[in-house]
Amino acid sequence: MKPPKLRPNESSKSFKARVKAWERATGKKFPRTFAGKTDEERVLGGAVRNTGLNKPKDYSTNYGDEIKESQAEKARETQAKKSDRQVKDEKKESFLEQAGKTDYSKVPLPTQKTKLQVKNSPRKPSPEWGVKKNNEKLKSGNSKEDKSEAQLKWEKKSKNSPARASGAFSDKQLWEQRKKHKAWLEKRKKDREERRKKRLKSKK
């Protein structure tokens, strides 16, 4: 909003009132020239304005409405220039501001519990997986009489292992896997020993 100018036959009191209202609305000081000799500056400096034979007029009565209208027009122009993105951001900020003032302690909670259904979510393991119904145990594939002493000793040692506790494997399957693993360990140990001997031989 531009600073007020003297109007035809305006009284000094009216102009000073309008300047004061303008400064209060804009937060700015009335601009001054270097020479300070404009009619507006003379009136603000205390000079009496001579209107001649015409009666001095008061324009300050409706000036507050003029300020409001000018500010509203400026706001409309600014809003029209904003992009769709800026408008959405402002609405979002306004919503968040209102949400921050909400007292959620007074918001009623739902009376019925609802289950959340999450698509493509992994199924929770069931404690019954790997266990047959009617408490029927998985067949071991070998009777106790067919097991060697080494197998029985190892089964006793590994009775609390996760693989055995799951019930998903038979005793035979676990024992075969154990033998394969043991054979791999022995082969790895043998290969390391051979490489060590070769290194020692090459250094001599």
> What is this structure's pTM?
0.34
Domain extent for 152: 146-203
Of 145 and 19, more confident: 19
What are the structure tokens assigned to 145, written together?
Answer: 């009489």
Q: Which pLDDT value is given to residue 31?
A: 83
Measure the CA–CA gap between 49 and 43, rounded to whole angstroms.
7
| Tens-place pLDDT, residues 173-200 | 988 988 999 999 999 999 999 999 888 8
Q: Is 59 inside a domain boundary?
A: yes
41 part of a folded domain: yes
Reported as a single tens digit per residue, the pLDDT across 23-53 is: 888 888 888 888 777 888 888 878 877 777 7
Greater pLDDT, 28 or 84:
28
76 and 150 together in one domain: no
φ, ψ of residue 49 in degrees (nearest 5): -85, 130
**Angstrom distance (rounded) from CA 161 to CA 188:** 24
pLDDT at 143: 59
**Position with higher pLDDT, 5 vs 52:** 5
In a domain, 122, yes or no: no
Domain count, the chain: 2
Instruction: Give percent of the chain above pLDDT 90.
Output: 8
Q: Is residue 39 part of a domain?
A: yes
